[in-house]
Amino acid sequence: EQLAQLATKAGVEGNGLRVHAPLMHLSKADIVLRGGQLGVDFASTVSCYQADAEGRACGRCDACRLRAQGFSDAAVVDVTRYR
């Protein structure tokens, strides 16, 4: 919502808006592998659309399924906390 507001404001004021998404061309497996190389603590990240207050994922939404498939395809243990 905030991004949409900023984009609208930039457009109205005649300013350009550039979105930088360096991982967009990578598969989920590639992202998992790159995160491992960078030392990302995947246990402290959340992809779930419906995570609970403790950050536990539902395991059923599209984001959870894509994340789980990415870990599987990368042959990396999924440390995601699920309900």
End-to-end CA distance of the chain: 27
Average pLDDT by stretches of 10, the chain with 83 residues = 87 84 96 98 96 96 98 98 94
Which residues, listed in sequence order, are joined to residue 57 by a DSSP beta bridge?
Answer: 82
SS3 82: strand
- State residue 70's pLDDT score: 98
- Check residue 4 and give its pLDDT: 86
- Determine the pLDDT at residue 69: 98
Residue ranges per structural domain of the chain: 21-83
